[in-house]
Structure 1
Amino acid sequence: MTLGNTIGCSFVGVVAAAALYGVSCVQTWFYFNRYGTTDIWYIKALVLICLGFDTIHQALISHTVYWYCVTNFNNPDALSMLVWSILLEVLFNGLIGLIVQSFLIMRVWRLSNRNLVLTIFAGSLVLAEFGCSVVFTVQSMKLKTWKDLEQLKPLSMTVNVLGAMSDFVIALALVFYLRRSRTGFRKSDMMISKLIVFSVSTGLLTTLCAIASLVSIVLWGDTLIYVAFYFSLGRLYFNSVLATLNARKDLLADDPDDITFSLQTISKVVPRKLSSPQQQRTISIKIQTTREVDGGGKHSERSCHSAQEVDS
């Protein structure tokens, strides 16, 4: 492994991750400024925990670059050695992914009207990815050199494959069940279309990043090119869920007074079939249609959308 590959790729990865960390901080501030007094406690806890893990991860990868570029400046022998911080960061990347993907699976669970098979399948992929991240961290901490780390290459590839698969399955499930929720009302269908586009775009970023990291490991396994992508993976997970939370008022309504919608507690968006009271969860969309008749016998229709909170 050459000097340029070690320092250059890791430095690029840290700079990109630092830029995304700044975006995470801004989005977190925006979230609490806009939704801090209205959102349920576990959503706010999710944001704070992810921000904490994101901060620790940034500190770890910054330490990695500092150790190679400053502490061991002009010391070529150090380039062949593993520093503990670049190994431990894998665990915190995995923790962020676990929390964010679990949150998305909860949305799939509610949208699919408690589809147990789909939820277990998606959850198994997420848990397997996190389990491989933990095993990789534990095993790698026992190693001393980059040459030794090559024996864990299959495990590193497995983490990226499982990550890409879980992101794809979650995004596909969200799109499928959102499309089934179309009602025929223009504003409701427009809202659902926006949700579909947003679900695809946010899931696509993390999937592409995981695939890019995987391809880099396969093609240039003796370099740290994959690090430039993997360092940013946790940031993309966190920013995707922050973007979803922060865009609720703007994304889901042309006129905020017409419709109020909450992504974190959605159960079904105007179900096609009537469900029993036991099947309704937390938030439902109620559509009322009023018909007005004037003196000439002509009539017009208008629809009113509202969000209603329902106890389980």
Structure 2
Amino acid sequence: METTNDNTYGLLFIAVAISSLLYGAGILQFWMYIRKYHSQDSMVVKALVIAVLICDTCQQVLLCHAVYIYLVSSISNKTILPSVVDTLMIELFFSCAISTMVQQFYCWRIYKIGQSVVLAAAVSLVSWTSCAVLIAYSVKAVQLKQLAEVIDLKTLSIAANSLSAAADVTISVVLVILLHSAKTGFTRSTDLINRLMVFTFNTGLPTSLCALLATICIAAFPETFLYIFFFLLLGRLYTNSLLVTLNSREYIKSSSEHASREQYSLENSGRPRMPAAPTRDASAITIRIETDTMHDFHSSSQDLKSSH
């Protein structure tokens, strides 16, 4: 593909525009989280949300600065266009931090649902490997002077995006399998778990697809900014994925609002337990099953007559 302003700096501008929209959506999700769940969640979850939002904000600011330099400052200084703006590469570290924190959060969910340290650790290892490769890529990228030299890091870029996509797909698949194994056979619990499975798949799909497209584009069109376009959106997608997951708990539990005699916790892989006193932990998703016993009145009447 021939290199033009449209498939290089034009894509960079479009990436900033879409990224800004996703950042706004993330801020809205954060506001909803503060209103509904901030007072209920543990300090660890609160710290995670704040840390992700700070990194997301820093990355967005750095990205906007880089695009401003390329598209505005370059008007009076044409030597800027082929050079590397430092903020464009520095933002890679914040993107790495966001993806790793969010993926580790999902690994924690795998542990809570499956109660398997080995399984959660194995998935976590894939995420940390992706993080290590991306850090190595970022360290080398900030040392570059010309944009044309970025192509020299093609192998590292493919490895980082491939591992990130693999981690996201693995997390989604493992969570879906664990949720499926938690089905109890009761209609209400099965419906709730099915909703959880669909939701889990949908929240992992955007990040997986974006990382995969970035990998394909760097391999097929390395002379353009197509791969940069998809990569720059990953941070916003991870942030929204985390916040949507936290904010959707009330919706997911809506089918189990009525009181019942039996409770099934997803954290215990669907094993029944006695009703417990309500807690303030909104992250625990509980399935309640109400069983009603019906007697045949006609049959009972005949039994009474026969007894006389």
**TM tier relative to shorter chain:** 0.7 to 0.9
| Structure 2: runs of 5+ lacking an equivalent | 274-282, 301-308
Task: Name 2:80's counterpart in structure 1.
Answer: 78
Task: Name 1:205's counterpart in structure 2.
Answer: 206
Larger proportion of strand: 1
What per-residue deviation string (whole Å, max 9, x for no partner) do you get for residues 139-163 of structure 1?
1111100122221111011110001
Distance in 1, matches of 2:15 and 2:189, equals 41
* Aligned counterparts, 1:87-102, within 5 A: 87-102=89-104
Shift of 1:283: 4.9
Per mean C-alpha deviation after superposition, the further-off stretch among 1-10 and 24-33 is 1-10
Distance in 1, matches of 2:259 and 2:86, equals 53
Per mean C-alpha deviation after superposition, the further-off stretch among 189-198 and 39-48 is 39-48
Shift of 1:30: 0.4
Task: Name 1:250's counterpart in structure 2.
Answer: 251
Per mean C-alpha deviation after superposition, the further-off stretch among 15-24 and 241-250 is 241-250
Task: Name 1:268's counterpart in structure 2.
Answer: 268
Kept in 1, the 8 Å contact 2:113–2:267? The answer is yes
* Aligned counterparts, 1:158-169, within 5 A: 158-169=159-170
Task: Name 1:110's counterpart in structure 2.
Answer: 112
Matched residue of 2:132: which SS?
helix
Kept in 1, the 8 Å contact 2:259–2:290? The answer is no
Shift of 1:227: 1.7
Root-mean-square deviation (Å): 2.4
Shift of 1:5: 3.2
Matched residue of 1:253: which SS?
helix
Structure 1 residue runs of 4 or more that deviate by more than 6 Å after TM superposition: none
**May I ask how many residue pairs the two structures share in their alignment?**
285
- C-alpha change, 1:75 and 1:110, in structure 2 (3 Å) is same
Larger Rg: 2
Distance in 2, matches of 1:48 and 1:88, equals 20
Kept in 1, the 8 Å contact 2:175–2:200? The answer is yes
Kept in 2, the 8 Å contact 1:104–1:170? The answer is yes
Distance in 1, matches of 2:153 and 2:289, equals 59
TM-score, length of structure 2 as denominator length: 0.85
Instruction: Tell me which amino acid in the other structure corresponds to 1:11.
Output: F
TM-score, length of structure 1 as denominator length: 0.84
| Structure 1: runs of 5+ lacking an equivalent | 260-264, 274-281, 300-312
Shift of 1:289: 5.2
Distance in 1, matches of 2:37 and 2:62, equals 30
Distance in 2, matches of 1:174 and 1:22, equals 28
Kept in 1, the 8 Å contact 2:181–2:269? The answer is no
